[in-house]
C-alpha cells in the first residue's frame, strides 16, 4: 500500500503536542498530548469541567491555545488555519443552529461555508440527510424540531463536507435510546473512513463505539489506552474512570 503516493493526507490525522490553555489564572487544559490515526474513533472521557470541550475547541481552531501546537493532516492549525480547517467537521456542545432557517436552508449554507462544490450540493444534501435520518423534514424550521432532531442537524452539519476528522462534543445528549443507538451506528460507520473524536459522560457509549479512550481530569490527560487492550487485560473502564477522577474530592475541588 503506497499510501504516500495515492494520498497526500498522512495516516496521522491529528497530532497535538503540549496543548495548554489558561483563562486568567485558571488553567483549563495543561500539557495535553493527543494523537489520532485515520480510521480511529477516540473517546474523550472526563467529569464536568475536566477540559474536554476546551481541548476540542482548541483542536478545531475556535480557541487559540496558550501554548502547544496542533497539526491537522500535517498542516499547522495555528499557522495555516484556513487550510487545516477544511479537514475538520465539528459539532460543538451547543449545536450551532440558525433556528429561523429550515433544515435544507441551513445545511445548504453549511455546505457552501465548507466549500462544497455548487454542482454537488444537492447530491451531498440528500446523502447527508439520509445518513442522519432527516430525509422527511428538510422543509421544517429548525426551531420547530425536537432536541433530538436538532442534535441530528448538528451532526449533519459536521459531516456534510466529508471531512477527514470529525469532532463531536457530547453527540448523544438529549437523544432517546433509539436515537442514541442510531447515532452510535452512524459514528461507527464514520469511523471506518475518517477519524472521530467524541466526548461523552456515558461509559458504555465509549465501549460500544470507540477504538481508543483517553480520560481527562482537571485539565490533565490521565489515561490513554486502546479498548482491545483493556478487554484483554480484563479491566473495567468504569473502575478506571472512578479511580482516576474521584481524586477530585480529595483535592477539595
Tell me which residues touch another protein (CB under 8 A): 60-64, 81-83, 85-86, 88, 90, 92-101, 105, 109-110, 112-115, 157
Q: Which is nearer to another protein, 57 or 245 (CB)?
A: 57
CB of 67 vs another protein, minimal distance in Å: 13
Q: Which is nearer to another protein, 148 or 211 (CB)?
A: 148
Q: Which is nearer to another protein, 105 or 127 (CB)?
A: 105
CB of 81 vs another protein, minimal distance in Å: 8
Query: Please, is 104 exposed, middle or buried when counting C-beta atoms within 10 Å of its C-beta (0-12, 13-18, 19+)?
Result: middle
Q: Which is nearer to another protein, 46 or 65 (CB)?
A: 65
CB of 84 vs another protein, minimal distance in Å: 8
Q: Which is nearer to another protein, 114 or 184 (CB)?
A: 114
Q: Which helix or strand (DSSP H or E) is residue 225 part of?
A: strand 220-226
CB of 151 vs another protein, minimal distance in Å: 13
Q: Which is nearer to another protein, 62 or 236 (CB)?
A: 62
Residue written as cell 498530548?
Answer: 33
Q: Which is nearer to another protein, 115 or 193 (CB)?
A: 115
- How far is the C-alpha of 78 from the C-alpha of 123, rounded, in Å? 33
How many C-beta atoms lie closer than 10 Å to residue 246's C-beta? 11
- How far is the C-alpha of 127 from the C-alpha of 102, rounded, in Å? 17
Output the nine-digit C-alpha cell for 68. Answer: 502547544
- Mind giving me the DSSP string for 100-150? TSBHHHHHHHHHHHTT--GGGHHHHHHHHHHHTT-GGGTTSBGGGS-HHHH
Q: 60-93 b/e with 16+ CB inside 10 Å = b? A: bbebebeebebbbbebebeeeeeebbebbbbbbe
CB of 129 vs another protein, minimal distance in Å: 18
- How far is the C-alpha of 228 from the C-alpha of 232, rounded, in Å? 6
C-alpha neighbours within 13 Å on the C-beta side of residue 185: 9
- How far is the C-alpha of 157 from the C-alpha of 132, rounded, in Å? 10
CB of 128 vs another protein, minimal distance in Å: 15
CB of 99 vs another protein, minimal distance in Å: 7
Amino acid at each position: 500500500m503506497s499510501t504516500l503516493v495515492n494520498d497526500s493526507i498522512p495516516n496521522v490525522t491529528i497530532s497535538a503536542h503540549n496543548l495548554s490553555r489558561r483563562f486568567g489564572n485558571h488553567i483549563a487544559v495543561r500539557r495535553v498530548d493527543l494523537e489520532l490515526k485515520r480510521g480511529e474513533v477516540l473517546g474523550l472521557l472526563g467529569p464536568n469541567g475536566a477540559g474536554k470541550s476546551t481541548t476540542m475547541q482548541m483542536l478545531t481552531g475556535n480557541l487559540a491555545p496558550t501554548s502547544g501546537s496542533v497539526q491537522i493532516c500535517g498542516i499547522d492549525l495555528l499557522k495555516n488555519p484556513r487550510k487545516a480547517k477544511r479537514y475538520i467537521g465539528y459539532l460543538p456542545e451547543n449545536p450551532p443552529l440558525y433556528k429561523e432557517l429550515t433544515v435544507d436552508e441551513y445545511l445548504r449554507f453549511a455546505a457552501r461555508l465548507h466549500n462544497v462544490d455548487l454542482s454537488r450540493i444537492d447530491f451531498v444534501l440528500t446523502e447527508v440527510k439520509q445518513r442522519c435520518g432527516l430525509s422527511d423534514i428538510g422543509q421544517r424550521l429548525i426551531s420547530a424540531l425536537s432536541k433530538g432532531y436538532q442534535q441530528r442537524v448538528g451532526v449533519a452539519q459536521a459531516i456534510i463536507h466529508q471531512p477527514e476528522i470529525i469532532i463531536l462534543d457530547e453527540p448523544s445528549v438529549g437523544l432517546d435510546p433509539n436515537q442514541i443507538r442510531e447515532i452510535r451506528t452512524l459514528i461507527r460507520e464514520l469511523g471506518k473512513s475518517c477519524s472521530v473524536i467524541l466526548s461523552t459522560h456515558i461509559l458504555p457509549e465509549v465501549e460500544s463505539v470507540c477504538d481508543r479512550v483517553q480520560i481527562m481530569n482537571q485539565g490533565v490527560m490521565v489515561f490513554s489506552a486502546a479498548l482491545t487492550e483493556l478487554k484483554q487485560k480484563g479491566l473495567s473502564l468504569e473502575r478506571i474512570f472512578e479511580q482516576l477522577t474521584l481524586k477530585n474530592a480529595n483535592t477539595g475541588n
